[in-house]
Amino acid sequence: MSLKSKFIGALIGSAIGDALGAPLEGNSMEEVNSVYGEDWKMISGRYTDDTEMMIGVAESLIENRGFNGADMAAKFIQNYHARRGYGPGTKEALRRIREGESWEEASGKLFGGKGSYGNGAAMRIAPVGIFYYDNADKLREIAYKSSHVTHSHELGKEGAALQAFSIALAVQGTEKEAMLHDLKEFVKNVIYKEKLRKIEALLAKEADKKAIISELGNGEEAFNSVPTAIYSFLRFDSFKDAVVYAISLGGDADTIGAMTGAISGAYYGEGAIPEEWEEKLEEGKKGRSYIKWLAEELYRVKFYNV
């Protein structure tokens, strides 16, 4: 499978997971499973803040041939539409920057000066995961820096780096068995190390959904959602099964769907994404064609530097 197909799969897969999970965000696993059976249809195809911010990350990397914090913050602000449903911390960080604070300082003022550990940095990280898929040190550096625009807490940044590295391993085509080992070597924070250990144990016994939610989480915190997305990807053998499972856990369904979709799309490539989902994903100025174009541009800049 071509690398270009993996680049497109990661970005479109993320947007599809987001749009598929969006109507279910905030519902419990029991509520989701009482309404949905086997047939998972894309309802509106509208994406949320997850994809709007991912678009900003991609645009900025392309225009700057790499990371530029002031520009990335500006892209987030230009693209911002409150109706996409942003987290309160991210909203506040972007307001501060819009009103003149520097992008380096704004996010550190949130949550009593601790910074955010929400999953808002991880949910948008797919462009970093594909662009730096072949350089783990650079990937970590840019994942931390791009997170810092809105998320300065160590756990928010580490969650984004872990998600980006999962996407990178998927682009490389790393065998699933080897992936957990590589992720454990990569991650620095003890909370994520423990979650990766739990993933291994849960995969070994095909645990039920209640156990996954209580052990890995389905919330808005990066440490309660990034590991859940990695688990969803590792447990299943297709893009569709992984993403449907991720969303069926309820809770932060759009975001866990987006992160599972990004890893799965990077692993299986665009061709493995159900056509009926891709066709239903919103079109328009920054819709599915634009997202595909961004992935192609990241590929072009990376490999041809033009």
Residue 87: contacted member of ligand F2R, Mg ion, none (CB under 5 to 8 Å, by partner type): ligand F2R
In contact, 261 and 38? CB cutoff 8 Å = no
In contact, 293 and 58? CB cutoff 8 Å = no
In contact, 177 and 200? CB cutoff 8 Å = no
Residue 158: contacted member of ligand F2R, Mg ion, none (CB under 5 to 8 Å, by partner type): none
Query: Considering beta carbons, is residue 158 or 254 the nearer one to Mg ion?
Result: 254
Residue 277: contacted member of Mg ion, ligand F2R, none (CB under 5 to 8 Å, by partner type): none
Alpha-carbon gap, residue 182 to 165, rounded angstroms: 9
Query: Considering beta carbons, is residue 31 or 296 the nearer one to ligand F2R?
Result: 31
Query: Considering beta carbons, is residue 180 or 226 the nearer one to ligand F2R?
Result: 226
CB of 134 to Mg ion, least distance (A): 29
CB of 23 to ligand F2R, least distance (A): 8
Alpha-carbon gap, residue 121 to 143, rounded angstroms: 8
Residue 69: contacted member of ligand F2R, Mg ion, none (CB under 5 to 8 Å, by partner type): none
Query: Considering beta carbons, is residue 88 or 173 the nearer one to Mg ion?
Result: 88
Alpha-carbon gap, residue 289 to 15, rounded angstroms: 12
Residues that bind ligand F2R (CB under 6 A): 25, 48-50, 85-90, 111, 114, 116-120, 123, 153, 220-221, 252, 254-255
CB of 293 to Mg ion, least distance (A): 22
Query: Considering beta carbons, is residue 46 or 138 the nearer one to ligand F2R?
Result: 46
Say which amino acid occupies 79: N
Query: How many other C-beta atoms are found inside a 10 Å radius of the C-beta of residue 300?
Result: 14
Alpha-carbon gap, residue 143 to 79, rounded angstroms: 20
Per DSSP, helices labelled H in 22-111 are: 29-35, 49-64, 69-79, 88-98, 103-106
Residue 217: contacted member of Mg ion, ligand F2R, none (CB under 5 to 8 Å, by partner type): none
